[in-house]
């Protein structure tokens, strides 16, 4: 087991980023850019500067007025409820589309709570034939030869952020054109994202693949050229594999292939650790609750965060730096690196209080510590039955009116 080391996160940002690089020598990839300062302060700034009217108009365009709030939601710097309330207060009915998009995140999270590790296997039978090829190296290296796909891979690996539409095009290209096993691709993609989130990511890949939707998602050149403003197509010299009608693409991609039944994918199960015999109680601050406004931050108890190899060992450097930014805003939180049981043992902790999570790896790590799980801040007060989780449309029928009241419009 790795030795537990206490980290002293510097207040100065430039020093902080360098410090993280020194302390995590095996973390790969580029430095976190200035555009991506982590923490609640930055999240509120982004929320307060968003333009819901422009968002309605152009969010599907690569240069549209999207908020880039996803890494902040992922790490708990801001709750979906705060974002929904804040946007509705400023923009009234014009916030509807933004709230609708927030609901997708909440929906995927409910599905994760409901299915647990089931989200890592095919949820339904595919509606079209899928492939099971391994991820080719040319994807990992961003040398597909297609300027658009190479551009999206560059966004992913350099900055850790890819526009939603580009995520959909990329996933469709990998799953339907290249016939790569969705699970391997989804794992790789999530690993590079600053907002990497098992529910939003893996379930979106399943949605594209037709494993959690009634049909596959695919696109053509006209669609990509329009929403990228010809950014990649204008000077593209290659024979475009996307340049066709939807009907012709459907025949090319799916005709004469019989869908196989749903597949189970392997999930690694964390080691069991013996029950702790220590006495002290602490707040365990995990990577989904990094906000000074979190209710548990106000409790007068020791608070401990651990960069744990099991959870964060494969994270790229920029994501660890993003989390360090978030942690620098939290007073009285001890930050450690090592494995969680060793850190808690070293601190004499036998019992922890923390925020509920559907992440089974994290739950298993804390199991020996007699954990009290505090509920997350709810996005909606609507009761969501299992049946509502079969499709987003059913979930939204119930949740939309609760969130938007008189501004709710039937989709």
Residues lying near ligand FAD in the complex (CB under 6 A) are found at 59, 66-70, 73-74, 101-102, 104-105, 108, 163-164, 167-168, 171, 190, 193, 195-197, 200-201, 204-205
| Nearest distance, CB of residue 302 and ligand FAD, angstroms | 30
Interatomic CA distance for residues 305 and 49, integer angstroms: 30
Give whichever of 283 and 384 is closer to ligand FAD, judged by the CB atom: 384
Residues 385, 367: contact at Cβ < 8 Å? no
Interatomic CA distance for residues 59 and 135, integer angstroms: 30
| Nearest distance, CB of residue 100 and ligand FAD, angstroms | 9
| Nearest distance, CB of residue 308 and ligand FAD, angstroms | 19
Give whichever of 19 and 104 is closer to ligand FAD, judged by the CB atom: 104
Give whichever of 205 and 254 is closer to ligand FAD, judged by the CB atom: 205
Give whichever of 16 and 286 is closer to ligand FAD, judged by the CB atom: 286
Residue partners of 340: CB distance under 8 A and separation at least 6: 284, 306, 308, 310, 365, 366
Give whichever of 171 and 304 is closer to ligand FAD, judged by the CB atom: 171
Residues 202, 239: contact at Cβ < 8 Å? no
Interatomic CA distance for residues 339 and 324, integer angstroms: 17
| Nearest distance, CB of residue 224 and ligand FAD, angstroms | 14
Give whichever of 4 and 172 is closer to ligand FAD, judged by the CB atom: 172
| Number of C-beta neighbours around residue 272 at 10 A | 8
| Nearest distance, CB of residue 131 and ligand FAD, angstroms | 17
Q: Which residues pair with 353 in a beta bridge?
A: 283, 372
Residues 153, 137: contact at Cβ < 8 Å? no
The token pair at 43 is: 């999240």
Give whichever of 18 and 213 is closer to ligand FAD, judged by the CB atom: 213
79 burial type by CB count under 10 A (0-12 exposed, 13-18 middle, 19+ buried): buried
The token pair at 383 is: 């009761």
Interatomic CA distance for residues 332 and 185, integer angstroms: 39
Cα-based torsion angle of the residue sequence 341, 342, 348, 350 in order, rounded to the nearest 10 degrees: 10
Give whichever of 18 and 164 is closer to ligand FAD, judged by the CB atom: 164
The token pair at 51 is: 């333009």
Interatomic CA distance for residues 168 and 165, integer angstroms: 5
| Nearest distance, CB of residue 116 and ligand FAD, angstroms | 18
| Nearest distance, CB of residue 408 and ligand FAD, angstroms | 18
Interatomic CA distance for residues 127 and 262, integer angstroms: 10
| Nearest distance, CB of residue 153 and ligand FAD, angstroms | 13
């Amino acid at each position: 087991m790795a030795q537990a080391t206490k980290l002293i996160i510097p207040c100065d940002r430039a020093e902080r980023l360098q410090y993280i690089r020194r302390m995590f020598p095996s973390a790969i990839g580029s430095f976190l850019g200035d555009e991506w300062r982590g923490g609640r302060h930055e999240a509120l700034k982004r929320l307060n500067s968003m333009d819901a009217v422009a968002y309605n108009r152009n969010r599907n365009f690569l240069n549209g007025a999207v908020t880039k709030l996803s890494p902040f939601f992922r790490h708990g710097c801001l709750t979906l409820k705060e974002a929904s309330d804040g946007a509705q207060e400023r923009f009234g009915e014009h916030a509807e589309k933004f709230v609708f998009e927030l609901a997708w995140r909440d929906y995927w999270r409910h599905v994760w709570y409901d299915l647990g590790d089931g989200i890592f296997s095919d949820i339904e039978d595919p509606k079209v034939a899928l492939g099971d090829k391994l991820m080719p190296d040319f994807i990992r290296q961003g040398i597909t030869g297609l300027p658009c796909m190479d551009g999206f891979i560059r966004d992913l690996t350099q900055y850790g952020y890819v526009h939603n539409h580009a995520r959909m095009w990329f996933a469709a290209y990998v799953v339907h054109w290249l016939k790569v096993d969705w699970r391997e691709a989804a794992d790789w993609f999530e690993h590079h994202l600053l907002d990497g989130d098992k529910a939003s990511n893996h379930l979106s890949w399943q949605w594209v693949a037709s494993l959690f939707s009634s049909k596959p998602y695919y696109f053509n050149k006209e669609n990509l050229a329009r929403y990228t403003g010809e950014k990649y197509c204008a000077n593209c010299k290659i024979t475009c594999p996307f340049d066709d009608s939807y009907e012709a693409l459907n025949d090319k991609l799916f005709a004469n292939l019989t869908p196989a039944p749903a597949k189970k994918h392997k999930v690694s199960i964390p080691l069991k650790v013996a029950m702790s015999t220590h006495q002290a109680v602490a707040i365990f601050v995990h990577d989904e609750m990094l906000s000074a406004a979190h209710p548990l931050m106000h409790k007068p108890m020791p608070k401990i965060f651990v960069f744990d190899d099991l959870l964060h060992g494969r994270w790229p450097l920029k994501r660890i730096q993003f989390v360090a930014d978030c942690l620098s805003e939290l007073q009285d939180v001890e930050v450690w690196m090592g494995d969680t049981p060793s850190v808690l043992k070293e601190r004499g902790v036998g019992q922890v209080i923390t925020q509920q999570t559907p992440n089974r790896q994290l739950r298993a790590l804390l199991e020996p510590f007699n954990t009290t799980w505090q509920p997350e801040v709810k996005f909606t007060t609507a009761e969501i039955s299992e049946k509502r989780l079969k499709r987003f449309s059913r979930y939204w029928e119930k949740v939309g009116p609760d969130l938007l009241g008189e501004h709710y419009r039937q989709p």
